[in-house]
Amino acid sequence: MGKPIARETFHGVCVDLSFEGKGVVKNGRDVYFVPGIFPSEEGDIEFAYMRAGQKFGRVVKLDKISPNRIEPRCKICSACGGCSFQQYAYPAQLVYKREKVKEQFRKIAKMDIEPLPCLGMDEPYFYRNKIQMPFGKDKRGNLYCGFYKEGTHVIVPVETCYIEDERAKKVLDAVKKLGKSFRIEPYEEDEGRGLLRHVLIRCAKHKEQVMVVLVTYKDAFPSRNNFVKALVKECPFITTVVQNVNSRHTNVILGEFERVLYGPGYIEDVLCGITFRISAKSFYQVNPIMTEQLYGKAIEAAKLTKNDVVFDAYSGIGTIGMVASRHCKQVIAVEIVKEAVADARRNAKANHIDNVSFYCGDASAFMVNMAEKKQHVDVVFLDPPRKGSDQRCLDAICKLAPSRVVYVSCDPSTLARDIAYLSKKYKLESVQPVDMFPHTMHVETVAMLSLRDSRK
């Protein structure tokens, strides 16, 4: 016999996974969202809390285990929450991600679609090239770093993270060790004191280059040069160190001001045969292996020809546009972060690509302007941040009427919303989920749309 069941405890069966990866457990007419339980599993669940009118529960005891449940490599994956999906067999993760895309289209776009099978990784570990961790200090004065526990600012200390490039651990261990001897104080949010907020590491996949960004609360950094010297000595593979100052009380990791402390202030990496320069503030996809697959699918979907004029909206450092430029006549790209645009321009020059023009600005405003000028465009690539595109941008696309739109999205719900909006003028031809983020609940999707025949 187990422990007696408390008042608010019930026996339930998990019937689904929510889009956040929580188990959906029914208790009569009530639905509970419960972390740590997978479809087909059964057990005792207790009520935990209400949020936005929804009930959340906690597993007290599991009686029936899913055949897809596996022993995770990372022992703290439940506590950390970053990749709680590690407890679910990888092929089952891919099935879930395809379903999630299908579900979002059904719920949000009211469209019944059949996405292609989710493309996965052969070796879904140590894939992340960008690592950012906050720092804390324990009672004995030792520094630790980790991830924030879901919904809080409590750091769950992480020693080894199984999805991050293995060089990152060496850097973080060195910062912890040197940070203690150099008496570097971690930033304390509540009190507004201390120095070190985050350490951000970017590792190139196809070049031996690693960037370390020390995000500090203040500009003044005692023994800055000696600290950097010691860090590079400990980790000779570091090719550049940047200090970024963020004095704001915000969740945003990077601040405005930057100072290059060592090396050129950027790294380079190779993607689809093109060399890209990446600065601290520029967006760069976090899974280099799957990015090549993603771009391959996006370019294939666009069916580019040598006469095509292509528009790359939300272009970052120009990756999609530059890969596309080899297959078309001309590319126009727009991106809002000026450092990324500067990277993009240098990238094009360094790769002898002369048929791409990069503009810094808001994608929607830019497209509205293009539509007013009745500019001709054959293909639009859209790769917005999670919140998706906006109506101004989508209306401008409908006005510009390119024959093909390729929408690359990291959030299937905003993708479904935007595609529903475009569907008055565009037909959805294919939806390809790509697993850019194994062991997390996230999924990337390439959707291909073609202009409906306006004469009909």
The residue ranges that bind ligand SAH (CB under 6 A) are 283-285, 314-316, 319-320, 334-337, 340, 362-363, 383-385
Closest contact distance (angstroms) between CB of 294 and ligand SAH is: 8
Token reading at 435: 């697993």
DSSP 8-state assignment for residue 84 = G
Distance of CA 396 to the CA centre of its chain: 27
Tell me whether residue 41 or residue 339 sits nearer to ligand SAH (CB atom).
339
How many Å apart are CA 276 and CA 351, to the nearest integer?
9
How many Å apart are CA 384 and CA 411, to the nearest integer?
10
Tell me whether residue 80 or residue 322 sits nearer to ligand SAH (CB atom).
322
Closest contact distance (angstroms) between CB of 311 and ligand SAH is: 12
Q: What is the Cα Rg of the chain in Å?
A: 24
Strand, helix or coil for residue 87? helix
SS (H, E, C) 399-423: HHCCCEEEEEECCHHHHHHHHHHHC
Tell me whether residue 196 or residue 333 sits nearer to ligand SAH (CB atom).
333
Tell me whether residue 66 or residue 315 sits nearer to ligand SAH (CB atom).
315
CB atoms under 10 Å from CB of 153, counted, come to 10
CB atoms under 10 Å from CB of 44, counted, come to 19
| Residues 137-146: contacts with CB under 8 Å, at least 24 apart | 137/185, 137/186, 141/180, 142/176, 142/180, 143/175, 143/176, 143/179, 143/180, 143/184, 143/186, 144/176, 145/172, 145/175, 145/176, 145/199, 146/80
Phi, psi (rounded to 5 degrees) for 77: -65, -30
Tell me whether residue 186 or residue 384 sits nearer to ligand SAH (CB atom).
384
Tell me whether residue 320 or residue 419 sits nearer to ligand SAH (CB atom).
320
| One-letter identity of residue 75 | K
Closest contact distance (angstroms) between CB of 323 and ligand SAH is: 9
Q: Is 410 a catalytic residue?
A: yes
Closest contact distance (angstroms) between CB of 253 and ligand SAH is: 14
Residue nearest to ligand SAH (CB): 316
Cα dist from 49 to 6, 10, 57, 149, 366, whole Å: 15, 15, 7, 17, 45
Closest contact distance (angstroms) between CB of 445 and ligand SAH is: 13
Closest contact distance (angstroms) between CB of 418 and ligand SAH is: 14
Q: Which of 80, 83, 145, 410 is catalytic?
A: 410
Residues classed as catalytic:
410
